[in-house]
A and B are shown apart, each in its own frame.
Chain A
Amino acid sequence: MDIATSLVVIALSALIHASFQLSMSVLTLLSANTIGNQKTHRKLVGLTVSFVFGAGLMTLLLISFVTLIFMIIYDEIIPQYIWAGACGLLIGVGVSIWLFYYRREKGTMLWIPRNIAKYLTERIKATTLTAEAFSLGLSSVTAEALFIVAPITIGALTIIGLPATWQLIGLAIYTCLSISSLIIVSVAITSGNNISRIQKWRESNKYFLQFASGAGLIILSIFIYVSQILSTAIGQL
């Protein structure tokens, strides 16, 4: 893959990551509680910024960690069976998103086990300090590891193929784009938009977002398969 194509693949992976909703749900509830408890606007801004910063930092750490692991094991040349495995992972996670991501109930209830959801809700209610909001951002990304493993793996495998300077740019692009949805929602909330309208939008578009995330992963897997496996196989003939 050339540099431009690699960056497009990284950007697409990050946008798929951004369409996942657990961090978004936590941010919505955190903001609602903060406003509902009559905290100052400054406090609301502090908590949402800390949350987004926490989510961004955890994403950066995860993608850097996965990139480093692949780099240590494979250096710069990724064997084809790894690409093939990654394609399988993308398809598996894509289909799982179509089948399981949202519960078939009212609202935007996600796949996560109910005891974890209850724990997160209790933590959100107890959050009053920016440090707590920051750690909530870290844990909301970790809690969604089951789904974000697919875009992060592809992002990491693609970053390895870039020249050293571009690798840093790749990491930055992935991190910034993956938290772009959180940045948009936190700006919307802190600039005075009604939370119930944001939740209404999320609820009415949840099946579209679910379809788009799953389809995005499957399209990405087809692209990776053609560019990394099929083109090499044809070249060897």
Chain B
Amino acid sequence: MITTDIIDSEDSTNIKKYDRARLRASVMSCCLSVGCPEGQADTIANFVCNDIENWLTDKQEVTTKDLINKSTKFLEKYHTEASYFYEQKYLII
């Protein structure tokens, strides 16, 4: 069970516990946005969550920016276009 604190990069008073379901939904939504089939998107989202949890094991707290950067990096192993769009999603507006 991962209990790392996730600190909002733009508002350091906003601290939440790591939420696998939330990360999984976000990665899956991004994979679907770039045209991944549902099954593949689901598998990739689980892989990315596992990678993130391995990375978080020895960490007390990370920022949302760290989490996005790491997720983008892990996602790149499985789907380059989804990884590109996952990063861009936060930089479009």
Contacts and interface: CB of A to CB of B under 8 A. Distances in A.
Interface of A: 22, 25-26, 28-29, 32-33, 35-38, 105-110, 112, 114, 117-118, 120-121, 194-196, 199-200, 203
Interface residues of B, number: 20
B32 A194 contact: no
B85 A199 contact: yes
Contacts of B32: 35-38
Nearest to A112: B93
Contact of A106 (B38, B85, B87): B87
Contact of A203 (B10, B88, B89): B88
Contacts of B84: 196, 199-200
B55 to A, nearest CB: 22
B66 to A, nearest CB: 16
B40 to A, nearest CB: 14
B69 to A, nearest CB: 11
Given A114-B10, A196-B81, A200-B84, A108 B33 contact: no
Contact of B34 (A25, A106, A120, A195): A195
Given A106-B87, A194-B34, A195-B34, A36 B92 contact: no
Contact of A194 (B35, B38, B92): B35
Contact of A32 (B38, B89, B91): B89
Nearest to A29: B92
Contact of A38 (B34, B38, B87): B38
Contact of A109 (B30, B38, B91): B91
Please give me the 7 A-B residue pairs with the lowest Cβ-Cβ distance, nearest first.
Answer: A107-B91, A36-B29, A36-B33, A196-B85, A32-B33, A117-B93, A196-B34
A105 B91 contact: yes
A112 B92 CA distance: 12
Nearest to A34: B33
Nearest to B90: A107
A33 B88 CA distance: 13
29 contacts: A25-B93, A28-B92, A29-B89, A29-B92, A32-B30, A32-B33, A32-B85, A32-B89, A33-B33, A35-B33, A36-B30, A37-B29, A37-B32, A38-B32, A38-B38, A105-B91, A106-B91, A107-B87, A107-B92, A108-B88, A108-B93, A114-B10, A194-B81, A195-B33, A196-B33, A196-B34, A196-B81, A196-B82, A199-B88
Given A105-B91, A106-B87, A196-B33, 9 more contacts: A28-B92, A37-B32, A109-B91, A109-B93, A110-B93, A112-B93, A120-B93, A195-B34, A199-B84
